[in-house]
Each structure stands twice: as C-alpha cells, then as structure tokens.
Amino acid sequence: MKSTAYPKETPSDKALKSSLGAAFEFYHELNMLASNYKKDWVFLKGTGWVLFVNNENKDLFYLIPQSNYFLISLTLSEKERKGFLNDQDLQLLHDDIESASKFSEGYAMQFAINSKIALDRFKQLLLKFSPNLG
C-alpha cells in the first residue's frame, strides 16, 4: 500500500484486502477490537497510508499496510515500560519490551502482523496498554 498513485483516496476494505492478502483477517480483528477508538487514515510521503488509532488523550498504535502483512507501531512511556516489565502476564514479551528503541516520546515498539500468533502477541500487550478495548 505504499503506492503514491492514489494519495487522496483513503484505502477501502477492497484495496486493503488486495494488499494484505491473508493478513486482512488480522487487520479486521484488530479493527473490531479498537472499534471504540478514533481512526484516521493519513498519507505520508515516505511511508504511504498509515492508520492512526487513538482516544482523546493518547495514541494507541499506528498501522502501516504492507504486502501480505501490516506493521504496528506503538510507544510506551517510561512508567508503562517499567510496569510491563514487572507484569508476569507479559513475560513472553519482556525481551521485546526491554529492547524497544528509546526516543524522546518514550519507547517505540513495532510488530509485523502476518499470522494469528503474531496478532495474539501484539494483542496481549495492547490489552494491558489499553484495558478499555473491546
């Protein structure tokens, strides 16, 4: 979906299905999980289409469609990161959380979603990150 051919046309489900292939079902599941959040498609020159998902106070995550998968990015604050590293429910994600890149806004994490296992790993963190989902 990095195409610059249609930067003024927000991606339709049909276009997403075509680009994401089998990963479209994971996109749909995540979209339904975050149904109560604000979603805005934005076209960025270097990236292409990006879906920003947020509530009034905070960005939840960014979704970047790719060919047969999508990338999810989110940023954890220092406090959230410390709390998640002490959370035994997230033990399988501790290495990922510890290795998150530090930026002025917090710690950036990225997930490539191309399977149910990858989606479930991300959802485990997401549900801790935003308990009001679903």
Each residue's pLDDT, cut to its tens digit, for the chain (134 residues) gives 544 346 778 999 999 999 999 999 999 999 999 998 999 999 998 889 999 999 878 889 999 999 999 999 999 999 999 999 999 999 999 999 999 999 998 999 999 999 999 999 999 999 888 866 75
Residue 98 in any domain: the answer is yes
Report pLDDT for 5. Answer: 47
Question: What does pTM read for this prediction?
Answer: 0.88
**Structural contact between residues 68 and 115, judged by C-beta atoms closer than 8 angstroms:** no
- Measure the CA–CA gap between 76 and 30, rounded to whole angstroms: 19
Residue 134 in any domain: the answer is no
What is the span of the domain harbouring residue 84?
13-129
Residue 97 in any domain: the answer is yes
Number of domains making up the chain: 1
Residue 88 in any domain: the answer is yes
Q: Where are the alpha helices (DSSP H) in 21-73?
A: 24-33
- Alpha-carbon torsion, ordered 78, 82, 87, 90, to 10 deg: 60
Q: What angle do CA 112, 67, 47 make, to 5 degrees?
A: 75
Residue 8 in any domain: the answer is no
Residue 80 in any domain: the answer is yes
Report pLDDT for 25. Answer: 97
Residue 6 in any domain: the answer is no
Between the alpha carbon of residue 3 and those of residues 13, 47, 50, 121, the distances in Å are 16, 9, 12, 29
Structure-token match 């035994």, residue found: 88
Residue 2 in any domain: the answer is no
**Structural contact between residues 41 and 49, judged by C-beta atoms closer than 8 angstroms:** yes
